[in-house]
Chain A
Amino acid sequence: MFVTSAFAQESAPAADTSHAATEGDTHSGTGVPAEAHGVFPPFDPATFPSQLLWLAISFGLFYLFLKRVVMPRVGGIIDVRNDRISRDLDQAARLKAEADAAVAAYEQELAEAKKNANSIGQQAADAAKADAEAARRKVETALDEKLGEAEARISSIKANAMKEVSGIAEDTTSAIVEALFGGKASKAEIAAAVKSVAG
């Protein structure tokens, strides 16, 4: 934007000589650069060839450098990144599918396990019930046997007792008869009499 005074000093002699040839030396000796009062600098045709030449050289080299070196490199970086991103996305999608499948398999197994657990529990309950039933039946039969034995013993004891009762009655009767009547009754008569009473 600003041009240093050093530049201005430097330019003064050169400008004076170049313009002296074209438009006459009207400003030499004033100490002011000739261009300052000459053609507006951007429209000064004297500078056109040099500017065009150096523009062509510098821009041409710039174009070649960008085309050959910079753009393949930047394009390569961006392509590699895009490839990498899409590959990572693919991998993520694949891993997600695998995880989903694993979850589904787990849930299926869980459901099967629940079903199995129910049936195992049912079987165990049935088995336990059957065992209990068998044990109960065994105890009952044992008790029935013991009851039968006890009844048999009671009935035999009762029979014996009854047998002895008639003997005691005969003895008692003969004693009563002797005490009352003083005579002795025959055993057969007493037995018949007791039998008829016990009848």
Chain B
Amino acid sequence: MAADKVDPIHQFHITKLIPINIGGYDLSFTNSALFMVTTVVVAAAFLFLTTSSRSLVPGRLQSVSEMAYEFVGNMLRDAAGTQGMKFFPLVFSLFMFVLVANLLGLFPYFFTITSHIIVTFGLAVLVIATVIIYGFMKHGLGFLKLFVPHGVPVYLMPLVVLIEVISFVSRPVSLSVRLFANMLAGHITLKVFSGFVVSLSALGALGIAGSILPLAMAVALTALELLVAFLQAYVFAVLTCMYLNDALHPGH
């Protein structure tokens, strides 16, 4: 059991709560799904309930909702202009979803859905698919100008286009891996230091005294992870805004 307690990977295990199997695919309702639903319910309930009074002079919680709304709105307007505001619901949903998922993951015993690459990759693919579909709908083949920067000498063009294509293709990967790796690494580190506390405390009085250092480290790391939770949600939203800007204005 002691080995289980300090196993830093254990927290990422998917467990089936309601097994569902359709057409050979395992579509079970897992702890991951439970926390996706929890994230959505918490975020939606917070935004819904704090704004229910529609006060002209907002209270603290209503201010938080309004700040999040205006924060994302300004971010999108700065990056993609007024035209970009049609994607406001998407960016706001992504920001709130990732932020609340990251923050919920900081609670002990809670599952962190953003520590699974498939979840972050799913969100990143959603963003890139939106960019591609909207780009071709709006500009037709003109969207391909995205890969052809202005003012590049003709003999360099094949190389530049190749680089642009690679950079575009790597976007969903970098977008998803950045969030996933940050959450994964943070939670493993936190678990390792917490594990030290448990292991050292089992060694008697000297061990308990020695466990103060990793305990302090775990506290500091929790604060850092709180920052990372905000920062990664922000970075995800900012990059989404910049990619959407490409869909709106493909010419560099």
Contacts and interface: CB of A to CB of B under 8 A. Distances in A.
Interface residues of B, number: 70
Nearest to B90: A63
Nearest to B33: A54
8 contacts: A2-B10, A2-B108, A5-B1, A42-B116, A47-B118, A48-B118, A53-B27, A65-B44
**Which size bracket describes the interface of A in this complex?**
35 or more
Contact of B109 (A2, A52, A59): A2
Contacts of B111: 3
Contact of B36 (A32, A33, A46, A55): A55
Contacts of B238: none
Interface string A163-192: 000000000000000000000000000000
A35 B190 CA distance: 21
B89 A71 contact: yes
Interface of A: 1-5, 7-8, 10-11, 14-15, 18, 32-33, 35-36, 40-44, 46-56, 58-59, 61-63, 65-67, 69-71, 73-78, 80-81, 84
A54 B36 contact: yes
Given A42-B12, A58-B33, A71-B88, 18 more contacts: A5-B4, A7-B13, A33-B13, A42-B116, A42-B117, A42-B180, A46-B26, A49-B26, A50-B25, A51-B113, A58-B40, A61-B40, A63-B90, A70-B44, A70-B48, A71-B69, A74-B66, A74-B69
B184 A42 contact: yes
Interface in B70-108: 70, 88-90, 92-93, 96-97, 105-108
Q: What 4 A-B pairs come out closest when comparing CB atoms?
A: A54-B33, A11-B15, A67-B89, A58-B36
B122 A52 contact: yes
A35 B16 CA distance: 13
Interface of B: 1, 4, 7, 9-16, 19-20, 25-33, 36-37, 39-40, 43-44, 47-48, 51, 54-56, 58, 62, 65-66, 69-70, 88-90, 92-93, 96-97, 105-113, 115-119, 122-123, 126, 180, 184, 187, 190-191, 194
